[in-house]
A and B are shown apart, each in its own frame.
Chain A
Amino acid sequence: MVQENSCVAVYDNHLQAEEAVHLLQKNGFDVKSLSIVGKGYQREEHPIGFYNTGNRIKFWGAQGAFWGGLWELLLGAAFFWVPGLGTVVIAGPLVSAFVAALEGATVVGGLNALGVALYSIGIPKDSIIRYEIAIKSDRYLLIVHGDQSEVERAHDLLAAGDARDVTIHLS
């Protein structure tokens, strides 16, 4: 079960998001408590997807190294096509909430599977709508799951960096 307290940071590009993950790691955060969501940028002439080579899942697409690296580091990996959003790539514990949403374990009116996953970890609907717009605009969400003091500490670290927005969601 993903903790229902989170700190969500919005980044303009994958480099900033990756840097933030390393910053949190350097400051003692357990990477297993981090999730990242992005759109899996796609150009018509290039294929996009994922494949498995032995014990590794690799991402094929414009940010292959980024997602491949995160999938190795974080807890959980998902690649889906979501109506209204397109291809969505997720790394981290949010994957289990996303899968639960797909399986219909949680149903929330007016939200797609990603929205339901975010709702199930305590993010209110009006914020979810903004986060989906951010993802549609090729931005990245970095989510820190944890207790109140952890998400507050994450906020202070992330707000001092390149994040476009950092919000704390408490349940």
Chain B
Amino acid sequence: MNPESEFFDESAQCLMRSPLFSGLESHAIEEIVTRCRRETWKRRRQLPMEETWQRFHILQSGRVRLSRSNPESGRMITLFLLGPGEPFCIFSLLDGKPHEVMLETLDDVTLLSLPMDEARQWLEQHPEFNRKLLPYLGEQMCSLAGLAADLALHNTETRLARLILRYIDAPAEQQHVTPRLINDLSHEFLAEMIGSVRVVVNRQLQHWKQEGIVDAHRGHLEVEALQELVRRAEEPPHKASV
């Protein structure tokens, strides 16, 4: 991107605010933005990662879901829900291979993208980025491990509670909280994030609503009793009946 571009400053600012790039020297951030091209993708754009893995992408605005599905059963599991400042095709950055993942934009998104080779070159020139990248990758792996463990060990109520808590940054003593990124998602989408189906998630949310734990209606999710939700997420694995 040309540093003279109307969009250059906001792109650099976006990276400076993101957990992955914050703390880097401004010249390193400006350098990667200069190497990038700016793209916008319309909402509900779906494409397999085979079409994107040769470029490294950084979301500037909007949300992207990475998922896998079984074409025979039609069932889908969301592996990651990414928001502004987060990268995708990051595993391909590391191993240079495509991965069997489907991408879907949940909003109109703006992103920066650059060829993998250039991204690797930039990484070599800025090893200080690894201080941010490695913990980020660790978090991603933990998240996948958490998802696998939840699917195998916990019931739907616990999985749903844990999902909502993953997207809450507020202190535990706060009662009313709006989760980030997932608060306007459909029940079907939430179900696909915990390996369940819409009717089960809908029934659970209605149940919690009656108990005063959440306020859930079409396209809106708010936690009304955070501590109770935390309690519901702490179900010991041996009690689970998936």
Contacts of A168 in B (CB 8 A): 37-40
Once the chains bind, are A165 and B1 in contact (CB under 8 Å)? yes
Name the contact of A4 in the complex, choosing from B1, B5, B42 (C-beta under 8 A): B42
Contacts of B7 in A (CB 8 A): 130, 165, 167
Q: Which of A4, A127, A133 has the most CB of B within 10 A?
A: A127
- The complex places the Cα of A4 from the Cα of B41 at a distance, in Å, of 11
Q: Counting CB contacts under 8 A, is B204 at the interface?
A: no
- How many B residues, CB 8 Å from partner? 17
Q: Counting CB contacts under 8 A, is A159 at the interface?
A: yes
- How many A residues, CB 8 Å from partner? 22
Over the window 73-113 of chain B, the binary record of Cβ atoms lying under 8 Å from chain A Cβ atoms (1 yes, 0 no) is 00000000000000000000000000000000000101000
Contacts of B174 in A (CB 8 A): none
What are some 11 contacts across the A-B interface (CB < 8 A)? A122-B42, A125-B108, A130-B6, A134-B6, A164-B2, A164-B6, A165-B1, A165-B38, A166-B37, A167-B37, A167-B40
Q: A124-B108, A124-B110 are in contact. Are A167 and B2 (CB under 8 A)?
A: no
Q: Look across to chain B and name the residue whose beta carbon is closest to the beta carbon of A148.
A: B51
- The complex places the Cα of A100 from the Cα of B7 at a distance, in Å, of 29
Once the chains bind, are A126 and B110 in contact (CB under 8 Å)? yes
Q: Which of B4, B8, B108 has the most CB of A within 10 A?
A: B108
Q: Counting CB contacts under 8 A, is A145 at the interface?
A: no
Contacts of A167 in B (CB 8 A): 7, 37-40
Q: Look across to chain B and name the residue whose beta carbon is closest to the beta carbon of A134.
A: B6
Q: Counting CB contacts under 8 A, is A116 at the interface?
A: no
Name the contact of B37 in the complex, choosing from A125, A134, A159 (C-beta under 8 A): A159
Contacts of B131 in A (CB 8 A): none
Q: Counting CB contacts under 8 A, is A123 at the interface?
A: yes
Interface residues, chain A, with chain B CB atoms under 8 Å away: 4, 10, 122-127, 130, 133-134, 155, 159, 163-171
New contact pairs (6) apart from A165-B6, A166-B37, A169-B40, CB-CB < 8 Å = A10-B5, A126-B61, A130-B7, A164-B2, A165-B1, A168-B40
User: CB within 8 Å of A: which of B22-66?
Assistant: 37-42, 45, 61
The smallest C-beta distance from B70 to any residue of chain A, in angstroms, reads 27
Contacts of A126 in B (CB 8 A): 61, 110
Name the contact of A170 in the complex, choosing from B5, B8, B39 (C-beta under 8 A): B39
The smallest C-beta distance from A41 to any residue of chain B, in angstroms, reads 20
Once the chains bind, are B39 and A164 in contact (CB under 8 Å)? no
- The complex places the Cα of A122 from the Cα of B38 at a distance, in Å, of 15
Q: A130-B7, A165-B7, A171-B45 are in contact. Are A124 and B2 (CB under 8 A)?
A: no
The smallest C-beta distance from B28 to any residue of chain A, in angstroms, reads 21
- The complex places the Cα of A171 from the Cα of B47 at a distance, in Å, of 11
Q: Look across to chain B and name the residue whose beta carbon is closest to the beta carbon of A155.
A: B37
Once the chains bind, are A164 and B5 in contact (CB under 8 Å)? yes
Q: Look across to chain B and name the residue whose beta carbon is closest to the beta carbon of A5.
A: B42
Q: Which of A123, A133, A168 has the most CB of B within 10 A?
A: A168
Contacts of A125 in B (CB 8 A): 108
Over the window 9-24 of chain B, the binary record of Cβ atoms lying under 8 Å from chain A Cβ atoms (1 yes, 0 no) is 0000000000000000
Once the chains bind, are B42 and A164 in contact (CB under 8 Å)? no
